[in-house]
Structure 1
Amino acid sequence: MTPPDAPDSPGSPDPANRWSNLDRPPLNVTALRRGLLRPGALWTSVDVVQRTGSTNSDLVASGGAEGAVLVAEEQSAGRGRLDRTWSAPPRSGLFFSVRLTPGPGVPVGRWGWLPLLAGVATATALSRAAGVDTALKWPNDLLVTVDGQERKAGGILAERAGDSVVVGIGLNVSLRADELPVPGAGSLALAGAGVLDRDPLLRAVLRSLEEWYGEWRAAGGDPAACRLQEAYTAGCATLGRTVRAELPGGRELVGEAVAVDGDGRLVLATADGVQEPVGAGDIVHLRPAGS
Structure 2
Amino acid sequence: MTPRDAADSRWSDLDRPPLNAAALRRALVREGGLWTRLEVVQRTGSTNSDLVARADKGEAAEGAVLVAEEQTSGRGRLERQWTAPARSGLFFSVLLRPAEVPVARWGWLPLLTGVAVATGLSRAAGVDTALKWPNDLLITVGGEERKAGGILAERAGGDGVVMGVGINVSLRAEELPVPQAGSLALAGAVTTDRDPLLRAVLRSLEDWYGRWRRAGGDPTASGLQETYAAGCATLGRHVRAELPGDRSVVGEAVAIDGDGRLVLATEEGVREPVGAGDIVHLRPA
- Alignment coverage as a number of residue pairs: 278
CA distance in 1, matches of 2:137, 2:7: 28
| Cα deviation digits, residues 196-236 of structure 1 (max 9, x gap) | 10000000000000000000000000000010000000000
2:258 maps to 262
2:102 to 100, 107, 117: 107
Deviation at 1:246, TM superposition (A): 1.0
2:22 maps to 30
1:229 maps to 225
Note the residue ranges of structure 2 that are not aligned, 5 or more in a row.
Answer: none
Determine if contact 2:8/2:42 at 8 Å carries over to the other structure: no
1:158 to 145, 153, 158: 153
1:177 to 173, 180, 194: 173
2:194 maps to 198
2:133 to 114, 138, 159: 138
2:118 to 120, 123, 147: 123
What SS does structure 2 have at the residue aligned with 1:249? coil
Q: Where has structure 1 moved over 3 Å in runs of 4 or more?
A: none
Instruction: Give the AA of the match of 1:28.
Output: N
Note the residue ranges of structure 1 that are not aligned, 5 or more in a row.
Answer: 6-11
Determine if contact 2:92/2:164 at 8 Å carries over to the other structure: yes
| Cα deviation digits, residues 29-67 of structure 1 (max 9, x gap) | 000000001110000000000000000000000111100
Whether 1:286 and 2:279 are equivalent positions in the alignment is yes
2:38 to 39, 43, 46: 46
Instruction: Give the AA of the match of 1:288.
Output: H
What SS does structure 1 have at the residue aligned with 2:25? helix
CA distance in 1, matches of 2:5, 2:154: 35
CA distance in 1, matches of 2:128, 2:63: 27
Whether 1:272 and 2:268 are equivalent positions in the alignment is yes
1:218 maps to 214
The verdict on how the C-alpha distance between 1:21 and 1:289 changes in structure 2, with shifts beyond 3 A counting, is closer
Deviation at 1:13, TM superposition (A): 9.6
CA distance in 1, matches of 2:130, 2:219: 19
Instruction: Give the AA of the match of 1:167.
Output: M
Instruction: Give the AA of the match of 2:229.
Output: T
Determine if contact 1:67/1:100 at 8 Å carries over to the other structure: yes
